[in-house]
Structure 1
Amino acid sequence: MTLKMLITNTKVGRNTKALVAGVSERTLRHPDAMSLVFNGVDSISKELSTIIQSPAPDDLSITEKEELMEMNQGVLQCMGVSHASIETVLRTMLKYKLAYKLTGAGGGGLLSETVVNKVIAELESCSFRCLTAAIGGKAV
């Protein structure tokens, strides 16, 4: 099964050291709440791993992946590591009922070339750079 992806570069630089420090500070201020957030990260990762390793994807597994990716973004927001530009990309994707992932690919059915082109045009109007890619498919 070929997985098609739209890769969007928001052109916003990030300082990983500062982001990690911010998560650490937030954890010190709110240890109980952040413990739940980290447990959420673990649960989402384990569920997604199970789905990805299943032999044949079906409509339910695609829906579950979409939900887990949406939940993952919520967790990242709770950790304070999201950005307004990422939220713009996510709102655009949701407007067209597309799944998303900050780093990686979302799955979700077939899209007409027209829908993909509308998404790309809208994101590029925000000065983001969009690329398309496909992975998977038949081995040589």
Structure 2
Amino acid sequence: MHGRPSGVDNTVSTYGNMIKFKSGSLTRIKSNMPLKMLITNTKVGRNSKALVAGVSERTLRHPHAMASVFDAVDSISTELATIIQSSAPDDISVTEKESKIEELMEMNQGLLQCMGVSHPSIETILRTTLKYKLASKLTGAGGGGCVLTLLPTLLSATVVDKVTAELESCGFHCLTAAIGGEGVHVCFAGSS
């Protein structure tokens, strides 16, 4: 269905934590800070294989420009991994890290738009969350699918409720998730 998938989805689901994918290689990373995300499902189906092919075609047409885009995405991923793996002993450190993560998410989304993988539904979500001063980016191959929005530690539940209500009034489906969990657990009857 996806052509040549990275294996990130099934690896994270199975083993938990976070994964860095680079040049066909998966590396597990452990977050040392809590991350909470609003996941908004656009309910727009997409063809991951066609989206990946579109990026490949754009790369063939503009090899130097796209190489710079890919280098920037790699730099953002590396910086994000460094931020989330470093210790955050107090709320101020966590807040500073979240601000950096927000900027990195915004930069990454801009680069994904340059690659041609955004979608009008994704853009609607970005505009809506930006009204609440929240950073968002598409996830997966883009072209629909889901959008991640960072929910900072000090964000009030009222704001989360408002942005969720507004997004759902547009026909999207929202849920919140903590990032960096433990992965799959198998429990048998009578065991704990």
Between 1:107-116 and 1:82-91, the stretch displaced more is 107-116
Q: Return the alpha-carbon distance in structure 2 between the equivalents of residues 89 and 80 of structure 1.
A: 17
**How far did 1:105 drift?**
5.4
Q: When the two structures are aligned, how many residues end up with a matched partner?
A: 137
Partner amino acid, structure 1, of 2:46: R
Asked if 1:95 corresponds to 2:131, the answer is: yes
Whole-Å separation in 1 of the counterparts to 2:129 and 2:66 = 28
Gaps of 5+ in 1: none
Map of 1:76 onto structure 2: 112
Unaligned runs of 5+ in 2: 1-32, 140-147, 182-192
Contact 1:2/1:134 (8 A) holds in 2: yes
String of CA shifts for 1:22-72, please: whole Å, max 9, x gaps. Answer: 001101111111011011111001100110110114332211110000001
The answer to whether the 8 A contact 1:66-1:108 is kept is no
Is 1:132 the counterpart of 2:176? The answer is yes
Q: 1:59 to 1:131 in 2, by over 3 A?
A: closer
Output the TM-score relative to the length of structure 1.
Answer: 0.88
- The share of aligned pairs that are identical, in percent, is 74
Residue by residue, what CA displacement relative to the aligned partner does 1:97-137 show, whole Å, maximum 9, x if unpaired? 11223235524242222211111111011100111233569
Partner of 2:77: 45
Alignment of 1:1-140 (within 5 A): 2-56=34-88, 57-103=93-139, 104=148, 106-135=150-179
Letter of the 1:129 counterpart: H
Amino acid at match of 2:102: E
Secondary structure at the residue paired with 1:4?
A: strand
Q: Which amino acid letter does the alignment assign opposite residue 86 of structure 1?
A: I
CA distance in 2, matches of 1:20, 1:67: 25
Which AA in structure 1 matches 2:160?
A: V
Q: Is contact 1:65-1:107 (8 Å) kept? A: no
Which structure has the larger Rg? 2
Q: Distance in 1 between matches of 2:135 and 2:153?
A: 10
Judged with a 3 Å threshold, the aligned counterparts in structure 2 of structure 1 residues 34 and 135 are, in CA distance, closer, same or farther, namely closer
SS in 2 for 1:13: coil
Larger proportion of strand:
2
